[in-house]
Amino acid sequence: MNANISVIQLNSLRSEFKAYLRSTYPEWNDSTVSTIGSDAFFALNNNVGVDFWASLVDEESLIAARDKIRDYLESEKGSGRADERADGYLSALRQLKQFLDAKHPTLATEWSGKAISDVNLKADFQAWMKKQKKSDGESYSPNTINNYTTALKNATARLGLDDSVYTDLFYYTSENEFEAAHKTILAAPNFEEVDTAASNKAYSS
């Protein structure tokens, strides 16, 4: 049995989940599907302190994950609406659990404790950014670096693209593959909307 989960497996699951939402809720627009498809994986993307897959086994585990998300939003993000936002992520997690129960009933248990195996350049990017200088010679602030990092990690998921593009851009290690993904991202109909929603257009920056 493979000890890790590949990005290809994860992206395939994300795409299948979105397709499931579209077929189950035909009245939902693409923006709603994209948001829920992204929010369901918030705890995984942000390492809030739970075994993400184990949290999808039962309702009690979902509630525990919701509480960890709330704590993360309060302590790491300083959110004044942590409870409200955590409830939103819980709703998305419940949708993901329903999908898994219907399509992959053993996956949550099988993937529990496993890590994403592929290289992720997030830490390397942050270290590189700390060494860069703005046009006025000043260093980038920790807040700016965090905004850039968050946008590169999470914003692509909100574009609603297919699984030909990694939603977490830090998984790209090939310049050619990144350039191809970059063109697809810029051509997305809602790119400007997603970019504007990022702090000071950190996504396009």
pLDDT of residue 45: 83
pLDDT of residue 132: 92
Residue 73 tokens read as 């939003």
Which residues are CB-contacts of 130 (< 8 A; sequence separation ≥ 6)? 139, 140, 145
pLDDT of residue 2: 52
pLDDT of residue 142: 92
- Report how far apart the first and last C-alpha atoms of the chain are (Å, whole number): 41
Instruction: List the domain boundaries for the chain.
Output: 4-116, 122-201
Helix (H/G/I), strand (E/B), else coil: 77: coil
Amino acid identity of 60? Answer: E
Which residues are CB-contacts of 99 (< 8 A; sequence separation ≥ 6)? 16, 17, 20, 21
Residue 90 tokens read as 């819980």
Identify the CA nearest to 150 among candidates 175, 178, 169, 127.
169
Per-residue pLDDT of the chain (205 residues; tens, 9 = 90+): 456 787 768 878 988 999 999 999 999 999 999 899 989 999 998 888 999 999 999 999 999 999 999 999 988 777 788 999 999 999 999 999 999 999 999 999 999 988 876 567 888 889 999 999 988 999 999 999 999 999 998 899 888 887 668 788 887 777 877 888 899 999 999 999 989 888 778 899 8
Q: How many CB atoms lie within 10 A of CB 51?
A: 17
pLDDT of residue 140: 92
